[in-house]
Amino acid sequence: RAIHGPVRLAWRPARLPTNQRQDSAVTYVALGVVSDIAIKKRL
């Protein structure tokens, strides 16, 4: 989970408008939730 910080910064460049940065953050969070569910189902 410690890697989320650098990855989130990479997905949210400062040069993009605020709304696009928020969309990227929401998409990343959604992917993270799906990944967590998939991992838990495997266990």
The model carries a pTM of 0.45
Mean pLDDT value across the chain? 71
Residues 6+ apart with CB under 8 A from 6: none
In this predicted model, what pLDDT tens digit does every residue of 12-26 receive, in sequence order?
Answer: 555 656 666 677 778
Dist. CA 3–CA 9, nearest whole Å: 10
Q: Are 35 and 7 in contact, with CB atoms under 8 Å apart? A: no
Higher pLDDT, 37 or 7: 37
Dist. CA 15–CA 33, nearest whole Å: 27
Four-residue CA torsion sign, 29, 31, 37, 39: negative
The domain of 38 spans 4-42
Long-range contacts of the stretch 36-40 (C-beta < 8 A, 24+): none
- Count how many domains the chain has: 1
Residue 17 is predicted with a pLDDT of 62
Higher pLDDT, 32 or 4: 32
